[in-house]
Amino acid sequence: MRSYQPDLTPPWKKSAPVPEVPAEPDLVVEDVATGFCGAVIRCEKTAEGPTVTLEDRFGKQRVFPMAPRGFLLEGRVVTLVRPSAGGPVRPARTASGSVAVPGARARVARAGRIYVEGRHDAELVERVWGDDLRIEGVVVEYLEGIDDLPAIVREFAPAPNARLGVLVDHLVPGSKESRIAARVSDGDVLVVGHPYIDVWEAVKPSSVGIPGWPVVPRGQDWKTGVCRALGWPENTGAAWQRILSSVHSYRDLQPELLGRVEELIDFVTLPA
């Protein structure tokens, strides 16, 4: 008969129990060992034990063992476990990957603003970050180009409690856009941009159902050239609606745009 062996470990050396949390889809956690933070995509059984796949804001996926005390949830150490069928539903997430706040009212608009170049840029930002922007009270307006940006900034009169963020297409060294941006940037104005000729290219080709964005020869209207190369009707408005309808969340956008929009939202919402 096996004799009873008491646990003689001093209480101060015993690990405190941690909560077990079902790894529901879209739950955002951080791996303790690596610091990788992402949303749960799936759980799987393997020969080495259960694993969880996380996807970060930029679409990068990594697989981690579901080890005890292996993750942080809102700063608290937890143990992830496989969700049971019919288990509790985790809070939904917004299209940008943020935790949704059911029933949240839109905040009164801040004095700060985000300006984007055109209507398509504004519609894409609204589609992915609209819920977040309303909760934060951030208004997005479009400019129809940035040639007059210095005058627009002067009229806006940015201040510490009214910061201005500007998203620019094709912001690459030596471009017209980069020269204009250099003229207006200061402590209360942040101009950032993506490298794409047009915001259309910031949508992943796989989401649109095309192998890639075509190269349009210089001298041609870029959007018309894209429609022509893809065999779409040369109606850029209809083409944009086709592209926009393929965007369901941040996962459908390139990281070069994701990071810049997040940067602008953080900039205009920081306390004065």
Tell me the pLDDT tens digit for each residue of 15-27. 667 889 999 888 8
SS3 content of the chain, % helix, strand, coil (to 5): 30, 20, 50
79-83, 203-207, 249-253: which has the highest mean pLDDT? Answer: 203-207
The answer to whether residue 149 scores a pLDDT higher than 60 is yes
Q: Under a CB-based contact definition with an 8 Å cutoff, are residues 170 and 193 in contact?
A: yes
Q: Give the whole-angstrom CA distance, residue 109 versus residue 139.
A: 7
pLDDT tens readout for residues 104-119: 666 677 888 999 999 9
pLDDT averaged over the chain?
Answer: 85
The answer to whether residue 88 scores a pLDDT higher than 70 is no
Q: Give the whole-angstrom CA distance, residue 82 versus residue 56.
A: 20
Alpha-carbon torsion (160, 166, 167, 171), positive or negative: negative
The answer to whether residue 4 scores a pLDDT higher than 50 is no
Is the full-model pTM beyond 0.75?
no
pLDDT tens readout for residues 220-244: 999 999 999 999 999 999 999 999 9
Sheet holding 113-116, edge to edge: 139-142, 113-116, 164-168, 189-193
- What's the CA dihedral at 114, 119, 120, 123 to 10 degrees? 60
The answer to whether residue 101 scores a pLDDT higher than 80 is no
